[in-house]
Amino acid sequence: MEWRDRATDLPPPKSAACLTGAPGRSDTLPGALLLSPRFRRFLSYYRPYTRILTTDLLCAVFVAGITVLLPLLAGDLTRQVLNAGAEDVRPRLAWTGGLMVGLVALYALCNAYVDFHGHLMGARMEADLRRDLFAHLQRLNFGFYDRQRTGALMSRLTNDLFDVSELYHHGPEDLTIALVKGIGVFAILSSIDLRLTLLVFAFLPIMAAFALYSSRRMNAALSLSRERVGSVNTQVEDTLSGIRVVQSFTGEATEQARFDHENRRFVESRRAGYRSEAVFSQGMTAFTQLMSVAVIVGGGLAIAGNSLRPDGLVTFLLCLGVLVDPVNRFVNIARLYGEGATGFARFLEIMEVTPEIADAPDALEIGRARGEIEFRDVSFRYGPESEAVLEGLNLQIRPGEFVALVGPSGVGKTTLCALIPRFYDVQAGAVMLDGHDVRTLSLASLRAQIGMVQQEVYLFAGTVAQNIEYGRPGASREEVVDAAKRAGAHDFISALPQGYDTEIGQRGVRLSGGQRQRLSIARVFLKDPPVLIFDEATSALDNESERAVQSALEGWIGQRTLLVIAHRLSTVRHAQRILVLTEAGLSEQGTHEELMARGGVYARLHGLQLSL
């Protein structure tokens, strides 16, 4: 059975709604990166590590220089042995041998520095990239995440940035070593026999062309593989996040089939990569062997013609091994550049997304709000092609008023509340808080005024207390306990093995749905904002807990502005004003008694619930 790919990566435009390039790829790869302003940004991540980088490259020069000097010294030793007697050569052999041992020791020290500090520098730069990307992701608005999959974004935070760090670390080192070795070997060999040197170096352009061709094929396969592994991550995240639903519906076979489909697509993408790598590896091996054959044959002819001494041939053969290393390093640089530039371009794709919702340049900071909310001719839709959710809505909520929103599903109740903290921006009209258009307020100060409890609760891995303290970091244990009591959560928390210090697992999986809901309510009670929004927040509570929460809310009437979305009308009958939303907009408003007497939509909804 074939399954369609459910993973969606980043869409095309360069905004929170869309990004450049095809899913999982970039149109600015990799050659264009060197010619673009992005390259300056790439280099900017070296700035905090300039001293380490300088020392690292200096050590790389020593490593390459010593590698070139050792064959030269070996050739010199051979010449001494051939041209001098045993007694005469011993002091010179001892001196040269000691020098070579010293160089080997220096080589080991420099190589150790390059290996350790270079890798550590790369890891730190990867951490810097990940820090910046994570911070930027937190600034992107709900609309961005409505269109993305967590698995695909996780792939960018992990796999892509590891490839970038490899380029940061190995790129300069390999380039330095390759240049020093290549130039040094050419200088040494040309001083011995220029014609044989030119014969050897004639192989290099062919090897380079072959390597670049193979590198392009490997990079294309790698890009596809990276896209496919993002799809695998997305599938795994999707299934494991919903494992309770999977098992309750015995959907294991379905999920396994979907995973197997994505896994097969990943393996197919790797097949092309491994084929390219095999062709490259064996091709380079064949070129190296051909170079050795050419040196042996050419060197033998040169010795026969008395234009080359045997010690020169020894130096040639030893240097040949050194010469292959720069070629391999240049190829490795091409590979690292392909992978790293791809990863960095994908990193920039997200970093260059401008949040659709951000602070205005002259955004206002407000203190504690009074809680007056007004919708002025508000219209909103989720996308250009979507139907309008709200159209020309006008509504005013007084400070401290308890307002309930009721109506059928899908008429915009949750959307209306999401517009107040600017989780989305209106397309027309304005949402006002204390007479200020919310778009003129800083997001931090605006959202500090608002506490939301949603039907879909999210708790973080950690303890009960830590999840409640999220409402106000630094709150005392007494304040945490008081908030839990007002949310009707204290009794069940006290019964947990470690009480408030009990670990609740990722997303609070060790708690029941009602317990998770009560913790989320306690969290917003601890925040104590002037505006409280409850979106079906008591639907998962038992009657006793619901009454405790309602009592706490009613105690805040006049002190906090309360907006409560409810399908269960019995929970909002004591609201000071009930707003009835339908597909036609705001159809009715009034108290429970007024709306029942009117006999309209609310009365019919109430009657339907009583009949169930």
Residue 34 is predicted with a pLDDT of 55
Residue 605 is predicted with a pLDDT of 83
Q: Which residue reads 């979106």 in tokens? A: 535
Instruction: Tell me the pLDDT tens digit for each residue of 272-283.
Output: 778 877 887 788
Instruction: Tell me the pLDDT tens digit for each residue of 442-486.
Output: 988 998 999 888 877 788 888 999 999 988 888 999 999 999 988
Q: What confidence tier does 21 reach under pLDDT thresholds 50, 70, 90?
A: very low
CA 595 – CA 482 distance, rounded (Å): 36
Residue 24 scores a pLDDT above 60: no
Instruction: Tell me the pLDDT tens digit for each residue of 164-180.
Output: 888 898 889 888 988 99
Amino acid at 171: G
Q: Which residue reads 């790389």 in tokens? A: 60
The arithmetic mean of pLDDT across residues 113-123, rounded, is 90
Look over the chain and give the mean of its residue pLDDT values, rounded to a whole number.
81
Consecutive H or E run containing 406: strand 402-406
pTM: 0.69
DSSP letter assigned to residue 584: T
Regarding the domain delimited by 42-351, which CATH topology (the fold level of the hierarchy) does it fall under?
Answer: ABC transporter transmembrane region fold (1.20.1560)
Q: Contact 302/193 with Cβ under 8 angstroms?
A: yes
Least confident of 74-78, 121-125, 167-171, 229-233: 74-78
Q: Contact 132/156 with Cβ under 8 angstroms?
A: no
In sequence order, what are the beta bridge partners of 561? 531
Question: How many of the other CB atoms lie within 10 Å of CB of 4?
Answer: 7
Domains 42-351 and 373-611 share a fold: no
Q: What confidence tier does 2 reach under pLDDT thresholds 50, 70, 90?
A: very low
Residue 312 scores a pLDDT above 80: no
Least confident of 431-435, 442-446, 566-570: 566-570
Residue 374 is predicted with a pLDDT of 93
Q: Contact 395/424 with Cβ under 8 angstroms?
A: no
Residue 266 is predicted with a pLDDT of 85
CA 550 – CA 59 distance, rounded (Å): 70
- Give the start-to-end residue ranges of the domains of the chain: 42-351, 373-611
Instruction: Tell me the pLDDT tens digit for each residue of 38-69.
Output: 788 888 899 999 999 999 999 999 998 888 88
Q: What confidence tier does 602 reach under pLDDT thresholds 50, 70, 90?
A: confident
Instruction: Tell me the pLDDT tens digit for each residue of 140-159.
Output: 877 787 777 776 788 788 87
Question: Quick check: helix, strand or coil at residue 387?
Answer: coil
Residue 545 is predicted with a pLDDT of 67
Question: What does CATH list as the number for 373-611?
Answer: 3.40.50.300
SS (H, E, C) 133-176: HHHHHHHCCHHHHHCCCHHHHHHHHHHHHHHHHHHHHHHHHHHH
Q: What confidence tier does 267 reach under pLDDT thresholds 50, 70, 90?
A: confident
In sequence order, what are the beta bridge partners of 60? none
What share of the chain in percent tops pLDDT 90?
Answer: 15
Q: Which residue reads 């039907």 in tokens? A: 455
Q: At 285, list the tokens.
A: 């091996």
Residue 320 is predicted with a pLDDT of 74
CA 356 – CA 293 distance, rounded (Å): 64
Instruction: Tell me the pLDDT tens digit for each residue of 68-116.
Output: 888 777 777 766 666 665 556 677 777 878 888 888 999 999 989 998 9
Q: What confidence tier does 121 reach under pLDDT thresholds 50, 70, 90?
A: very high
The arithmetic mean of pLDDT across residues 226-247, rounded, is 75
CA 242 – CA 456 distance, rounded (Å): 13
Q: What confidence tier does 540 reach under pLDDT thresholds 50, 70, 90?
A: low
